Amino acid sequence: MGFYFVYSEDMNISSLSAATYGSNIFLPRSVYRLIAVVVLLVMFPCTLVANNPVKTQVHYKVSSTGLSIGEVTTTQRTTEESGIISIHFETRTAVSASFLWMGYALDTVEKGTIQKGELISYSRKGRENGAVIDVEGHLEHSTFRLDVRENGVTRSISIPRSSYDFTTMECPEARIDFTEKPRVTLKVLDVEKLAVVRREYQLVRTAHYKIAGKEYPCRVVDFSDQNKSARRWVFWDGSAVVMYRQDGKGDKSSYSVQATSVSRDL
């Protein structure tokens, strides 16, 4: 949900149980449309690496119109092999909500690897209301190729590396230099939309975000493109970019994704 995230990730599947959430909530139709968008917005690692291996795990709650509608868990781990540092991430999401006229269920696992600040592999698998989600992508020969399997048919999308500055996984807003320009526009490969968008970022302020009584420094950044707009509380601590909160709007409703715990293993 893609997230971060977190913030986030890689993880040992065996060491992380899926986040689960069940509810009987009666929400307007506009909230239903938002749920899938909300989850995918936090399902990204937003991770960068320093010199030492670090594991970061963040738990989030997702809410809309003041009601809890789901949970997300993101984890990242850094590794080094032959002098090359990799960030492996995984996000697990499980949402189940009941509506007056319909139900909604989402159960997904998102994975990816970042090397030298670039996303080199990505996958998102699971089910949404029973429909299979199966996306895999790799950066090869200066092209990011995404294979999407739908109803037994595979279609491929090839995106030249030269056509984008970052992917949404790299969470560029955490490290953009806003000193000279309060607004910066970048070409971003949105792994949710499987397309490159022109995304505008604006620094709102620096702040602190409180979780379980502890305050974390962060920057508050607004971003928008042709598909979405949101406000994000993020911070790069030298080993990972942690997303503490994200608030966004749909046509008639709003949502909030908020971190409830952050843990680090050095």
| Domain ranges, residue 170 | 13-254
Which range (40-44, 67-71, 106-110, 157-161) has the least confidence?
A: 40-44
Contact 239, 10 (CB under 8 A): no
Whether 106 is in a domain gets the answer yes
Which range (10-19, 54-63, 75-84, 123-132) has the least confidence?
A: 10-19
Report residue 161: phi and psi, to 5°: -60, -30
In 3-state terms, what secondary structure has residue 139? strand
Whether 262 is in a domain gets the answer no
106 CB-near residues (< 8 Å, 6+ apart):
1, 35, 36, 39, 70, 93, 94, 95, 96, 126, 127, 128, 129
pLDDT at 99: 61
188 CB-near residues (< 8 Å, 6+ apart):
164, 165, 166, 167, 168, 172, 196, 197, 198, 199, 225
pTM of this structure? 0.79
Question: pLDDT-derived band of residue 162, with 50, 70 and 90 as boundaries?
Answer: very high
Each residue's pLDDT tens digit, 201-257: 999 999 999 999 999 999 999 999 998 899 999 998 776 788 999 998 765 567 888
Pairwise CA distance, residues 9 & 138, whole Å: 17
Whether 68 is in a domain gets the answer yes
Whether 188 is in a domain gets the answer yes
Whether 57 is in a domain gets the answer yes
Whether 23 is in a domain gets the answer yes
Whether 6 is in a domain gets the answer no
Which range (72-76, 101-105, 258-262) has the least confidence?
A: 101-105
Question: pLDDT-derived band of residue 126, with 50, 70 and 90 as boundaries?
Answer: very high
Each residue's pLDDT tens digit, 28-85: 444 444 455 444 444 444 444 445 566 889 999 988 777 788 899 999 888 888 999 9
Percent of the chain with pLDDT over 70: 75
| Average of per-residue pLDDT across 152-168 | 95
Whether 2 is in a domain gets the answer no
Percent of the chain with pLDDT over 90: 50
Report residue 164: phi and psi, to 5°: -140, 150
- How many domains, the chain? 1
Pairwise CA distance, residues 266 & 263, whole Å: 10
| Average of per-residue pLDDT across 104-127 | 92
